[in-house]
Amino acid sequence: TLNINACREANDEGVNLLLGKIRLRHLNVGGCIRLTRLQVDFRNAKAGCTLDAYGCRHLGHIEIRGSAALDKLVTAGCGGAEGVRVVKL
């Protein structure tokens, strides 16, 4: 589990670098207003994974590897008027 909820200084480079080094089942980046792109890997999990990106207003793209394990995805308040593009691999 990684919870960096409301970390206003978190940016794409730092978060995605960290996510590339750890195995996750639960990720909360809600309120991380500087995020624009996110890459999450749930390939090592069997099921029950969650991703909460609520309120990441500039987040426009999420790439999810191992999306079959994803049970809950929250993207309300992301991507402005266009919303967020989610690519499940």
Phi, psi of 58 (to 5 degrees): -100, -5
* pLDDT band at 83; cut points 50, 70, 90: confident
Residue with tokens 């080094």: 21
Cα 46-86-47 angle, rounded to 5 deg: 10
> Between the CA atoms of 40, 42, 48 and 49, what dihedral angle is there, to the nearest 10 degrees?
-10
Cα(85)–Cα(72) distance, integer angstroms: 16
**pTM of the predicted protein model:** 0.92
User: Which bin fits 67, alpha (ψ -120 to 50), beta or left (φ > 0)?
Assistant: alpha
Could you report the per-residue pLDDT of 22-45, keeping only the tens digit for each?
Answer: 999 999 999 999 999 999 999 989
Q: What is the pLDDT of residue 89?
A: 87
